[in-house]
Chains A and B, each alone.
Chain A
Amino acid sequence: MAIARGSLGASRAGYYLYLIPGTLGFLALVLCPLIANVGISFTTWKGIGKARFVGIENYERLAQDAMFWGSIGHTLLFIISMTVVPIIIGLILAAVLFDYISKQFGEGLSSFLRAVFYLPQILPVTAAGVLWGWILSPIGITNTVLKSIGLGAVAQNWLGDPTYALPAVSAVIVWIQVGYCLVVFMAGLARVDPSLYEAAELDGATWWQRLGSITIPMLMPEIFVVALTTVIAALKVFAPVYVLTAGGPDNATLVPSYLTYYHFFTTNRVGYAAAIATLQTLVTIVLGIVFIRMQSRQSEEGA
């Protein structure tokens, strides 16, 4: 017995060897940089020479930086285009494809449509950005089409006008995000017992009533996962802004990630940029803890 226990202990210890490459990599390339970044945020540093410790000065400056607060405001708006709108469209689309199209027109059409709506998700955001930048440019397709149908007055410099730039970038983000929500929701619907829908139909429930009383309640776990993951993604929006507007015009589409990049690599205010990145990380970690709590609660319920 004692021997058996001894050998079990030894065998368990042997498994630690398998953790070495992954853990070392994680320590060196994630944890250390993360801690270093927090450290840098308390200094003034140009990226070369010696960093000077300045305490929380960077954070004090941030509190008074209108560009920073502006970028936070834009992030809140991007949560609408990353999270709220795609979830609503995704829910309706998923319900239509699942509860209507696959019944009326067959499963093939439903899977085909799902795949097409998912397509924008898979593209490099930068390539999609070049494409949309061209479509939305002053002499681009949007304006050409508007003019040709007699709506020339509506034509705008979509990405170059501070009033329209943010909504225009948001529209592109919605185009990218809908597919993600749709696919996750449709996978969730596969779990729902079809007899629920049949019973509701027999009771004379309309399609909208079924959406409200069956589909949405049954999809609550998926909605929560999608909401949280897309909010976390909204806090990190970078590539679409970089490609479409570079934060402009007049900082109208500036987001924290772009501001960080700008200060790290353009103004070389490395300490200041690190402070913004640190704040972003803190908010993300808080959301991440909520996410992990929820996941472990759900897997307990599932078990």
Chain B
Amino acid sequence: MANVTMSAANRAALSRSPIQRRRPGGFGRWLVLAILMLGLAVTLFPFLVAVLNAIKLPTDYAVNGPVALPRSFSLAGLATFWTEVDYSRKLINSVLISGLVAIVGVVLSLLNAYAIGIGRVRGGRKLLVLLLMGIMVPQESLVYPLYYMAKAVGLYDTIWSVIIIFSVLQSAFGTYLLSAVLTAFPREIIEAAEIDGATRWQVLWHVVVPVLRPTLAVLGTFFFIWTWNEFLLPLVLLISNQNQTVSVAMGVLQGQNSTTEPTAIAAASLLGILPTVIFFLIFQRTLTKGVVVGAVK
């Protein structure tokens, strides 16, 4: 399914026909546009109010309310939140965890998929079904044993426990995706390389990987953002402040609405969403095209 839709999208992108521009007059089209703009406003409203209020002074908020344009400008709220929760540390943790999971997860997926898709090993399909089940299983049913194991091996409250666990969890999906791609890989190319005396290891890195590079990049991008946004397992496994991720740091802010200055909450949520918004702006194409592939998540 995933491949079917993806190839269909690619095909459409390749053969995009010139747009037919008919412009019948009338209010209809402006009405549709207006309704869409309303939807757009609703979608963007939270972002807007976060920005508006994160940069005002608390007094400005108290006098003019939350939807007024700022009449003061202050980065104090942002700076206070940053230092109070040691946000640089959370960012570094999140980048390290997500980055390493993206790399290790892609490598694990590639090795698995090489055996299943190119090697056609016996039991490959059954393994894929098992992996797919593994993706869908709720993390609640893994969390306690994993918590216990992490404590037993001394990786509890270290980012390594999270990195190892998510590399494996993400690779279940990656294996499923790459196996389908590699099953369709032209056999002649591999046979030609084998005749030239390439070993299996060389075929993987010098023949398969170069062809697959764009797909691997998309996969890595998704592993990165999925891991960045993970909550339950990091919440349980990373209890000390200095090991937490951005997502966990945001999660533990809950329940402070009544006590904290509104502008401070705006600042906190703005900083919480900003990294992924920037990431989205950079990788927008990859993410919106690739989401179809990720439909099993």
Contact = CB atoms under 8 A, between A and B. Distances in A.
Contacts of B253: 126, 130, 243
Interface in B135-159: 136-146, 148-149
A78 interface: no
B9 A190 contact: yes
A243 B36 CA distance: 30
Contacts of A57: none
A131 B50 contact: yes
B4 A302 contact: yes
Contacts of A298: 1, 4
A19 B66 CA distance: 56
Contacts of A270: 144
A129 B119 CA distance: 45
A1 interface: no
A165 interface: no
Interface string B47-81: 10110000000000000011100000000000000
A103 B20 contact: yes
Given A126-B247, A264-B143, A242 B114 contact: no
B164 interface: yes
B83 interface: no
A124 B65 contact: no
Contacts of B146: 29, 33
Given A103-B22, A148-B65, A243-B254, A274 B108 contact: no
Nearest to A283: B138
B255 interface: yes
A145 B65 CA distance: 9
A257 interface: yes
A260 B140 contact: yes
Interface residue range, chain B: 35 or more
Interface in B113-140: 114-116, 118-122, 127, 129-134, 136-140
A96 B138 contact: no
Contacts of A267: none
Contacts of A115: 284, 288
A225 B5 CA distance: 11
Contacts of A120: 43
A235 B138 contact: yes
A122 B279 contact: yes
Contact of B36 (A113, A183, A194, A276): A113
B13 interface: yes
A190 B238 CA distance: 43
B217 interface: no
A194 B17 contact: yes
A280 B289 CA distance: 31
A128 B277 CA distance: 12
Contacts of A288: 132-133, 136
A287 B133 CA distance: 10
Interface stretch (A10-18, A62-70, A209-217): A10-18
A37 B50 contact: no
B277 A135 contact: no
B229 A124 contact: yes
A183 B291 contact: yes
A30 B172 contact: yes
A187 interface: yes
B144 A274 contact: yes
21 contacts: A14-B119, A18-B119, A23-B127, A30-B134, A37-B141, A37-B145, A96-B32, A114-B288, A125-B229, A125-B247, A130-B272, A131-B272, A141-B66, A188-B5, A238-B231, A239-B232, A243-B254, A264-B143, A273-B140, A274-B141, A274-B144
Interface of B: 1-6, 8-9, 11-13, 16-17, 19-23, 29, 32-33, 36, 39-40, 42-44, 46-47, 49-50, 65-67, 108-109, 111-112, 114-116, 118-122, 127, 129-134, 136-146, 148-149, 164-165, 167-169, 171-172, 175, 200, 204, 225, 228-229, 231-232, 236, 246-248, 250-251, 253-255, 257-258, 262, 265-266, 268-269, 272-273, 276-277, 279-280, 284, 287-289, 291-292, 295-297
